[in-house]
Structure 1
Amino acid sequence: MSGGTAASESGSGQGACSQNTNRTCEECLKNVSCLWCHTSKACLDYPVSRILPPSSLCKLSSARWGVCWVNFEALIITLSVVGGAVLLAVAVCCACCCCRRKRSRKPDKSEERAAREREERRIRQEERRAEMKSRHDEIRKKYGLFKEENPYARFENN
């Protein structure tokens, strides 16, 4: 009976971790519920009730979980940076989509007003140009400088 109990303990998460103490990190982390402490070379049960293992159990810089080549501190920093970058990218994409949708709807009142003012200025400028041309033509006629396009054109059109 005692042999069956040891086999069942190694298969479950409770006793299996402490059996790998003073062995290698790879052997300890084969069980996903285990945490390897590099400084004490201890294989410990991961404290499931807490997200981060307490420093009394093992310092974050020495703790390994999942893979042996990354300590828990570097894993947390890396995941934080990647998570922040993903959130930032999603926020930028949402902002771009909202701006594009707002721009494509219809021009707002200030844009309509600016377009109306541009059109009014263009019309006033054309009127001024026509007025200046007529004044210049009158002055040219007065001093005999008015050039008719073709003196015979009057006869051809009739």
Structure 2
Amino acid sequence: SACPRYTNTSCEECLKNVTCLWCTSSKKCVEYPVRSILPPSSLCELRSARWGVCWVNFEALIIAVSVVGGAILLALVVCCCCCCKKKSKKPDKDDERAAREREKRRVQQEERRAEMKSRHDEIRKKYGLFKEENPYAKFENN
């Protein structure tokens, strides 16, 4: 493996290879133990271990990832609770007022339609255009 040859060099040189882990306390460049998520303390303790970049140790990385993950999880839970609360919310005064206004407009429209129909019927009667139910009713009275 290529990692041990960067021992006693610099962190930057070691971490150019992404499979390497730099231990600042012993200045060793070792192969990252892929099978275990975190490097064992026998290899290098967490506060001395560097992987990816030299300015962040594993201890700070674990804390930062935990805090960010917890914040994201908390935000998701809060959003879900808000959405569920909003869906189960009963209709408020604005909704009731809007429904009353819709019903009032519907009733007024029906009244206007009935009034227009009666006016049209009167005009049809006046000019003899009113359709009678039986057109032969005129001739039966003779």
Give the TM-score band, short-chain normalised. Answer: 0.5 to 0.7
Q: Choose the corresponding residue for 2:19, options 7, 30, 33.
A: 33
Distance 2:41 2:56 in 1: 17
Distance 1:66 1:91 in 2: 32
Distance 1:87 1:56 in 2: 33
Gaps of 5+ in 1: 1-14, 108-158
Tell me the percent identity. Answer: 67
Q: Choose the corresponding residue for 2:70, options 84, 94, 104.
A: 84
1:99 aligns with 2:85: yes
Residues 1-158 of structure 1 mapped to structure 2, 5 A cutoff: 15-103=1-89
Q: Give aligned pairs, total.
A: 92
Q: TM-score, normalised by structure 2?
A: 0.63
Q: What SS does structure 2 have at the residue aligned with 1:103?
A: coil
Q: What SS does structure 2 have at the residue aligned with 1:96?
A: helix
Q: TM-score, normalised by structure 1?
A: 0.56
Where do 4+ consecutive residues of structure 1 move more than 6 Å? none
* 1:16 shift after superposition: 1.1
* 1:26 shift after superposition: 0.6
1:56-97 deviation digits (Å, cap 9, x = unpaired) = 000000000111001110000000000000000011001101
Distance 1:67 1:87 in 2: 26
Letter aligned with residue 22 of structure 1: N
* Higher-helix-fraction structure: 1
Gaps of 5+ in 2: 93-142
